[in-house]
Structure 1
């Protein structure tokens, strides 16, 4: 019976920490255009993926809780990947923590993975 409860708790924790449910708030622009020093804006598709995707898709995007993304470009093109990032798919929700430029960069990078 204990194993059942531990399994149930483990699954619940996984669901609560699903992809894209980051508690970090994005940095906000100040009036003079500089960024808030307490948070950093992630740039570069690999850096964006490392910060936002590896929790569910694995450190090398090999798949974990979420599917393998190492050859995702063979299945989806850039526009389709943008749709996934904007609207979610399956248990992955919309990636609201990413701005449009980050989504565009990430979708382009992932579409090249064939």
Structure 2
């Protein structure tokens, strides 16, 4: 039983260490990929149903080259307020900005 508890404790510690913490960059690590990963995750959870997992569209328009049509602030505005048949998305302004930044890197 003690071996199982030690293994479980060690596994939990390794899992927590792998997930990181803080995320404030204080450790001097490279957080440049974090916004892209976060933007992609927010997109997958809130946008991919209509715009497609590969941004190619579906019920919503193709977003593969959305930066050719809209600036960052316009994309954020559309996410937060909707446009045409698109309902506003229930995300924070920060998340909308993260998704907009991520979308613009996809062009």
- Two-structure CA RMSD over aligned residues (Å): 1.3
| Residue in structure 2 matching 1:109, options 93, 102, 105 | 102
What is the CA–CA distance in structure 2 between the aligned matches of 1:80 and 1:64, rounded to whole Å?
A: 21
Cross-structure match for 1:85: 79
Structure 2 matches for 1:21-100, cutoff 5 A? 44-96=38-90, 98-100=91-93
**Unmatched 5+ residue regions in structure 2?**
1-36
Moved over 3 A (4+): none
Larger radius of gyration: 2
**TM-score, normalised with respect to structure 2:** 0.61
- Structure 1 or 2: more helix by fraction: 2
Deviation at 1:59, TM superposition (A): 1.6
Q: Is the 8 A contact 1:88 1:95 kept in 2?
A: yes
